[in-house]
Amino acid sequence: MLFHSSYFLFLFLPIVLILYFVTGKYYKSLYEYILVAAGIFFYAYWDIFLSPIIIISIICNFSLGNLIKKNIDKNKKKKILIFSIIFNIIFLAIFKYADFLIQNLNFFLNTKIDLVNLPFPLAISFVTFQTIAYLVDCYEGNIEKNNLIRYSLFVIFFPQLIAGPIVKYNHMMSQFCNVNNRIFNYRNFNLGLIIILIGLSKKIFLADNLATLVEYGFLNYENLSFYESWLTSLCFTFQIYFDFSGYIDMATGIALLFNIRLPQNFNSPYKATSIINFWQRWHMTLTHFLTNYIYFPWARSLKNLNFFNTMIVTFFVFVIAGFWHGPSWLYVIFGSLHGVGLIINHVFRKLFSFEINTIIKCFLTFNYVNLTFVFFRAENIHVSVNIIKGMFGFNGFDLPNFLNFKVDVILILLLSVVVTFIFKNTNYLMENFNLSNNKKK
């Protein structure tokens, strides 16, 4: 069930909203069961046969979290935590990376192992990172009041289930447990609808239209000239942003209808002035997870913590980030290039004290990101190399063949540039939205 489907917008969402506010007002905790049931139904709508997977994951991790919390012995707590993290990584690897591993074994060892072709459960990557953060919070004593229903709600709250953001247990539960958040709020409702509309516009009008030129370009990669290669890459760079941020906007707006605020996940990333700054603005909750749950623990474990070692850790953290996106070496290349970009930024800051003009920094950063996204979208190395060769002029400078029948898409690309670099983002709207009648009724 997609956020922009009529079934979701005009049937599922209104029913859940009505049940949420009615039960929240007259029944103490029934609203939790309503939201959990809605989340399970939402998940099952994608593939009912995969529903047991998320339910098993919820029960197992809730039990593991309780074992961690209840154990007084610090060494035993740590062992349970390590086991819990490994369990979740294996769980993710089985469903997402099993065939990738088999393919590589067959290639490098010349074996003929059959692919398992396991189904890909919805949102398993986001759920895994979110769960690991929860388990670490249990270990550090940050989780106090908890039960299976609340933990289930934390995992399967449907607005942030598809594409995040990656949320923290205490951040979400403090809102769900707030009695005032179960009372209909006109300001949040109106603001939520506006943000949903913005997200729908990004997704349907911008991203989906840009996708037509992207599809054409990546299918005809061998014949793309300089101009066609740049149009193809730029269209995808804006497509992925408006697709992803559009979904996040819809998730944010939908959650706000329930008086729940999801953490910010985008902050005008294409205005970034460095790759460091880009990851402070792009998929911010993923950056927070990578920093706090992979980078810092890894860096602290080093016997000799110096600049060189921290750069090595930085690089491999982003290799992991790339691989997290999907079972493909192209995602590894994407992550590696961002790791290299971060190292270059850090080395520049360490060795040089002069400042580069902000516009130039933004231009260089955007074009580097645009280049890396070619690997993110391409189906194989050959496709990505051909498009990048075209971008550097190796395939000639002929005018685009598809200009005649894709002028509308090029106009949408220009509109995307204007929206990205001139308009305020939805976070600004959320902080500055005013409604004359701002009463809770």
Q: Which of 329, 321, 271, 312 lies closest to 293, judged by CA?
A: 321
Helix-strand-coil split of the chain, %, nearest 5: 75, 0, 25
Indicate if the alpha-carbon torsion angle 185, 191, 197, 199 is positive or negative: negative
Q: Which of 156, 183, 210 is the last residue of a domain?
A: 183
Q: Which of 203, 191, 300, 343 lies closest to 253, judged by CA?
A: 191
Look at residue 437 and tell me if it is in a domain. no
Same domain, 76 and 200: no
Look at residue 200 and tell me if it is in a domain. yes
Same domain, 125 and 202: no
Look at residue 440 and tell me if it is in a domain. no
Same domain, 308 and 416: yes
Both tokens of 433, joined, read 């939205």
In whole angstroms, what is the distance from residue 83 CA to residue 293 CA?
15
Look at residue 129 and tell me if it is in a domain. yes
Domain span holding position 217: 189-432
pLDDT for the residue numbered 437: 45
Using the structure block, give the residue that is written with the tokens 């953490």: 263
pLDDT for the residue numbered 396: 80
Same domain, 44 and 82: yes
Q: Which of 183, 202, 237 is the last residue of a domain?
A: 183
Q: Which of 183, 198, 230 is the last residue of a domain?
A: 183
Q: Given phi > 0 = left and psi -120 to 50 = alpha, else beta, which region is 117?
A: left
Same domain, 177 and 224: no
Look at residue 214 and tell me if it is in a domain. yes
Burial of 224 (0-12, 13-18, 19+ CB in 10 A): buried
Same domain, 409 and 359: yes
H/E element holding 279?
helix 275-279
Q: Which of 136, 257, 269 lies closest to 192, judged by CA?
A: 257
Look at residue 1 and tell me if it is in a domain. no
Q: How many CB atoms lie within 10 A of CB 333?
A: 19
Same domain, 224 and 136: no
325 is catalytic: yes
- CB contact set of 302 (below 8 Å; sequence gap of 6+): 309, 313
What is the residue-level pLDDT of the chain in tens, covering all 441 positions? Answer: 788 888 999 999 999 999 999 887 777 678 899 999 999 999 988 888 888 889 999 999 999 999 998 887 888 899 999 999 999 999 999 989 999 999 999 988 888 888 888 887 888 888 999 999 999 999 998 887 789 999 999 999 999 888 879 999 999 998 988 888 888 999 999 999 999 999 999 999 999 999 999 998 899 888 788 988 999 999 999 999 999 999 999 999 999 999 999 999 999 999 999 999 999 999 999 999 999 999 999 999 888 889 999 999 999 999 999 999 999 999 999 999 999 999 999 999 999 888 889 999 999 999 999 999 999 999 999 999 999 999 998 888 777 665 555 678 888 999 999 999 998 888 888 888 775 544 443
pLDDT for the residue numbered 439: 44
- List the catalytic residue out of 4, 171, 288, 325: 325
Report field, pTM of the whole predicted structure over 0.95: no
Same domain, 281 and 319: yes
Total domains in the chain come to 2
Burial of 184 (0-12, 13-18, 19+ CB in 10 A): middle
Same domain, 379 and 248: yes
pLDDT for the residue numbered 400: 65
Same domain, 136 and 272: no
Q: Which of 267, 222, 266 lies closest to 378, judged by CA?
A: 222
Same domain, 388 and 320: yes
Same domain, 204 and 294: yes
